[in-house]
Amino acid sequence: MTFFKALVTGIFLALVGLSYAKADEPYWLLIDTSAQSLMVMEGKSVKRRFSNIAVGRNGTSPVHQRGDNTTPLGGFRIAWVNRNSRYKTFFGFDYPNLPLAEKALQQGLIDPLTYDEITTAIRRGQLPPQNTPLGGHLGIHGLGRADPDIHATMNWTQGCVALTNRQIDELAKWVEVGTRVVISEGNVAALTE
């Protein structure tokens, strides 16, 4: 990563982290896709680090699109929890959120009608539509019955962040609806110093 790209990424992540901050929020999650780790943060202190996570099989992208198998970068909130998922526990993101919808509209990835559907749901405090060209059903989950050997050796998801079943059980102690999640491609020092 070039110095300039690292600097821009660091500034972006610091702004995302601050914009999603709530004064009363005890914990938030920082996912460093380059280091393959998920950190439970208490303010700027690392409370717990989970290593050897998996992300989308095609890496990361600024805007995930349905079927591209990438994990979106940026800031999200946990919008829903399924404790009986086929992947053990599933912490679903508020994806697509407003910043991503705006970026997708500007890039021509969605049309104005789709943008209106997403923004209307967000304004009403509802989960954004999950069936747009931007995809949906993204979040953090365990393995369920998936192969732990594959998980240990490669990124395998369709865009989610995966942990082992033991890790997802432990993570559940710190996560609830509304928990802030920041997904970064590295250079997380700006958020932890």
Q: Which residue has the tokens 């702004």?
A: 15
In this predicted structure, what is the pLDDT of residue 186?
81
List the domain boundaries for the chain. Answer: 50-95+135-183
CA-to-CA separations, 22 to 81, 88, 103, 172, 177, in angstroms, rounded: 20, 29, 24, 20, 13
Residues forming a β-bridge with 76: 181
CA-to-CA separations, 147 to 10, 50, 134, 151, in angstroms, rounded: 34, 18, 28, 6
Strands 74-85, 88-93: parallel, antiparallel or unpaired by DSSP? antiparallel
* CATH architecture for segment(s) 50-95+135-183: Beta Barrel (2.40)
- The model's pLDDT over 29-83, given as tens digits with 9 standing for 90+, comes to 999 999 999 999 999 999 999 999 999 999 999 999 999 999 999 999 999 999 9
